[in-house]
Structure 1
């Protein structure tokens, strides 16, 4: 279902704000794949993506009244999902006792050391070699269309941090992919 089709989004949001379970379910079905994919790209694994999906829609159900309608519903849901993904990454970092270095997270900051390629490398493998934060900045900026200011706000960092992470991601991908 595309909730934007035929101007249904505002009607769907109005119903969801009253607690209408069918409307909330429609929001879930409309965006679950996109939220899962965003969580997968930021967190780097399916289990965490499932957690992001669940946490996102729990928050959407609790907070639908905070959606002002300034932008699209998907834009708001996407922002909630990205925030939940970053919170999950921060919790994991705190739980594991790993720290953030001066220029971002080290490649093994979440227990995943970069792999050396053993043969031809594809984009998916190259992305998996990036640190979770660098990969998230790349995905949010280049694929999702976030600005550096928005990414900085989501990550509780500066826009300059986002720019440097994106530059690092592009440089490493060029090195790895040729």
Structure 2
């Protein structure tokens, strides 16, 4: 059984998909849909773009599934494709040209990582505070935080994905953590200038 961050796909299902069986393709899609879409939305918060990248990811997964050799978790292989798609988009001129729209676009609301209804009130409130702090970070910085703190990537791996160094990843993470601590320690009701604010 291949298990990676919530993705479980039996080895025989992967082999069947490599042989072209449509039911195996559907099984992989069902197993990967939620964790992969959540990952993409954490890196690319614009819903329409995230939807496109999600579709592109699965097209590539099914087109190149024969390249998966069984070394490492299948879920990790799928996630590496999704991460690559997202980071290519974040580095693109197209993404930079859309940045000014984000402040007025409802589709950029952060995805809720945890279901607040299933958590104690204090824990749900803390989770919401973290979500809001994370949403204030620039896209590339937010990606470093998510890849390192949640997905478990090393700084060296993140640096390679970004075409930068491990030191770049470390500095981005340190700045992000400092910014998030600053926001989380503010008294309730206070405001702080964010990167998206036009009054900064």
Q: With structure 2 as the length reference, what TM-score do the two structures score?
A: 0.71
Q: Deviations over 1:102-153 (max 9, x none)?
A: xxxxxxx93347xxxxxxx822221111000000000010011111111112
Q: CA separation in 1, counterparts of 2:26 and 2:88?
A: 24
Give the C-alpha shift of residue 3 in structure 1: 6.0
Describe the shift of the 1:61–1:40 C-alpha distance in structure 2 as closer, same or farther (beyond 3 A).
Answer: same
Alignment of 1:130-149 (within 5 A): 130-149=137-156
Match of 2:16 in 1: 15
Alignment of 1:131-170 (within 5 A): 131-170=138-177
Match of 1:176 in 2: 183
Runs of 5+ consecutive residues of structure 2 not aligned to the other structure: 104-127, 186-200
Match of 1:39 in 2: 40
Match of 2:99 among 104, 110, 117: 110
Contact 1:148 1:163 (C-alpha < 8 Å) held by counterparts: yes
**Which stretches of structure 1, 4 residues or longer, exceed 3 Å deviation after superposition?**
none
Match of 1:101 in 2: none
Runs of 5+ consecutive residues of structure 1 not aligned to the other structure: 99-108, 114-120
Question: RMSD of the alignment, in Å?
Answer: 2.3
Give the C-alpha shift of residue 77 in structure 1: 0.6
SS at match of 2:27: helix
Give the C-alpha shift of residue 96 in structure 1: 5.9
SS at match of 1:174: helix
Give the C-alpha shift of residue 8 in structure 1: 6.0
Q: CA separation in 1, counterparts of 2:165 and 2:27?
A: 35
Contact 1:39 1:48 (C-alpha < 8 Å) held by counterparts: no
1:95 maps to 2:97 = no
How many residue pairs get aligned? The number is 157
